[in-house]
A and B are shown apart, each in its own frame.
Chain A
């Protein structure tokens, strides 16, 4: 069964539009939009609102390949991606018109942009969805996922996630991130109500809705839990809340203890997970009873998945039916599918005596700032372009800071911070700028990232 059929099978599922309070049954979204029956790409700029959800569901039930993008993506990034990939349809509530596209009314509430001269991309029939490896850099690099990848990931999550058929689930994690998408797919298959909201948890309206609809769960990256802590979430019971989920890195020790205390006091569940876009979602989870005893562990592999540690590099390798079919850097990559169940995670790991895994480092040049994955090579390139070709080197400091090293004594710190803010919306306080007299190089002439990081 396809993901769409599995969602439709959950016949009593409702979606609530948090903006209006309207509730819509899943059956009302079945073929609710008049869209062409053909292959092609659809760009969905999602804000997690009910419109985005309706568009997503309709296109899941079509021959189109869905490309999930953030509505908040910088306009120039949107334009670049559209020029490169020429999507057949675009859904973007923020832009009534786009050059080269006609506005088409596909339902009483939804308008799409339709390409005037659609390209004839050959798209491999396995490719159901393209997800960006990073939600913010506007990189043209996408992960190719099949319908089966998404279904397998959902089944393996449903194996351990305590989802009930009367759960009310707020979409507080953007569905353009694979984690938000997993929350969406699994709960559409097994929960009762999805609250479509573009509010975040620092807005009082989010909490009004949370109480009003008796929300059962909440999800987030460590940064979100830090914010929850800051607004006093763990100080009192939230009676409708049953369980919390987390991914995107390890919680700090103090926060972990606070969460365990909260869960014990009010009988809540907390499930930490480990995943990647390339695995269509989750690869491992840590049950709550080990949150303190196996501190800093990513847990054990999800159902139908397994891990292996490369004996030479200690790289964590995942095997499972949810592993992606390769990357797409341009439309030319859309006619291929590399079938594999093996994924090199880029993380360095160890395993303890009881079979639990721990991440000890990274092989790939990737950091997570506020839970968002940043490819340092991409950041470096965007920053170089933004600074007119200056030599800069980007490294990470404990997923807390982005360090920019440069060799130009005249280059102002504020110029670098401004460029990062303009292009990538990276907060200036998360950036550390360092002038170095000369760039350290490896014997073969490449930038020596290790010596910059440790200097």
Chain B
């Protein structure tokens, strides 16, 4: 079990913003920090943090924080708490 806080931090690190700025509503390209460059950084960071390998097709579906959380469940990573 991983904490919500931990996920926020992983994402924040990839985007170079603070964890407090990460909300479920945040979407790809909705802030300058979440562009194509940081999107691929995020993929790598998530893989490292949770020891998973994200399928190529899934890289495209990670269009919002909510969708990222749903995707992580598919990889059996739960982020409660």
Among A125-133, A148-156, A225-233, A277-285, the stretch in contact with B: A225-233
- CB of A421 within 8 Å of the partner chain: yes
Q: Which stretch from A99-107, A200-208, A323-331, A396-404 is at the chain B interface?
A: A200-208
Q: Is A204 touching B56 in the complex (CB atoms < 8 A)?
A: no
Residues from chain A with Cβ under 8 Å of B48 in the complex: none
Q: Which residues of A contact B33 (CB under 8 A)?
A: 421, 425
Q: List CB contacts (< 8 Å) of A188-237 with chain B.
A: 200-204, 207, 223, 226-227, 230-232, 235
> Nearest Cβ distance between residue B65 and chain A, in whole angstroms?
16
Contact pick for B60, options A231, A418, A430, CB 8 Å: A231
| A72, B63: Cβ atoms closer than 8 Å | no
Known: A204-B63, A417-B16, A429-B41. A232 touches B57 (CB 8 A): yes
Inter-subunit contact A427/B16 (CB<8 Å): yes
Tell whether A29 is near chain B: CB-to-CB under 8 Å: no
- A203, A223, A418, most chain B CB atoms within 10 A: A203
Contact among B16, B29, B37, B57 with A231 in the assembled complex (CB-CB below 8 Å): B57
Q: Which residues of B contact A72 (CB under 8 A)?
A: 32
Complex: A291 Cα to B32 Cα, angstroms = 35
Residues 13-48 of B, flagged 1 when their CB comes within 8 A of A and 0 if not, give 010100000000000110011011111110100000
A207, B16: Cβ atoms closer than 8 Å:
no
Q: Is A77 an interface position by the 8 A CB rule?
A: no
Contacts of A430 in B (CB 8 A): 37
Least Cβ distance of B14 to chain A in Å? 8
From A202, A231, A417, name the one whose CB has the most chain B CB atoms within 10 angstroms: A202
**Chain A residues, CB < 8 A from B3:** none
Q: Tell me the dominant secondary structure on chain A's binding face.
A: helix
Minimal beta-carbon separation of A99 from chain B (angstroms): 23
Q: Once bound together, how far apart are the Cα atoms of A370 and B36, in whole Å?
A: 10
Minimal Cβ-Cβ distance residue in A for B41? A429
A421: which of B16, B41, B56 is its contact (CB, 8 Å)? Answer: B16
Assembled-state Cα–Cα distance A204/B60 (Å): 6
**Using a CB–CB distance below 8 Å, which chain A residues touch chain B?**
72, 200-204, 207, 223, 226-227, 230-232, 235, 370, 417-418, 421, 425, 427-430
- Docked CA distance A429–B33 (Å): 12
Contact between A230 and B59, CB atoms less than 8 A apart: yes
Q: How many Å lie between the Cα of A230 and that of B32 in the bound state?
A: 21
- For B63, what are the chain A residues with a Cβ–Cβ distance below 8 Å? 203-204
Task: Find residues 32-81 in chain B having any chain A CB closer than 8 Å to their own CB.
Answer: 32-33, 35-41, 43, 55-57, 59-61, 63
CB within 8 Å for A232 and B61 given contacts A200-B36, A417-B16: no
Which A residue sits closest to B17, measured CB to CB?
A421
Contacts of A204 in B (CB 8 A): 60-61, 63
Residues of A within 8 A of B35 (CB): 425
Q: Which residues of B lie under 8 Å from residue A223 when comparing CB positions?
A: 37
CB pair B29 A232 closer than 8 Å = no
Contact B56 A235 (CB under 8 A): yes
- Distance from B68 Cβ to chain A, minimum over Cβ atoms (Å): 13
Question: B residues within 8 A CB of A207?
Answer: 60
Q: Nearest Cβ in chain B — how far from A247, in angstroms?
A: 17
Contacts A231-B60, A235-B56, A427-B38 given: A200-B16 contact, CB under 8 Å? Answer: no
Can you list 18 A-B pairs with a CB-CB distance of less than 8 A?
A: A202-B36, A202-B59, A202-B60, A203-B28, A203-B63, A204-B60, A204-B61, A227-B36, A231-B57, A235-B56, A417-B16, A421-B16, A425-B33, A425-B35, A427-B16, A428-B16, A429-B14, A429-B16
Is the pair B28, A231 in contact by a Cβ cutoff of 8 Å? Answer: no
- Kindly list 14 other residue pairs between chains A and B, CB separation below 8 angstroms, not including A231-B60, A421-B33: A202-B28, A202-B36, A202-B39, A203-B28, A207-B60, A230-B43, A230-B59, A231-B59, A232-B55, A232-B57, A418-B16, A425-B33, A427-B37, A430-B37
Of all A-B residue pairs in the complex, the 5 with the closest CB atoms, nearest first, are A232-B56, A428-B16, A202-B36, A231-B59, A204-B60
Rounded to whole angstroms, the CA-CA distance of A53 and B57 in the bound complex is 32
Rounded to whole Å, the gap between the CB of A314 and the closest CB of chain B is 33
Which chain A positions have C-beta within 8 A of B29? 200, 203
Bound together, the chains give a CA A200 to CA B37 distance in angstroms of: 11
B5: min CB distance to chain A, Å = 20
Complex Cα distance, B32 from A421, in Å, reads: 10
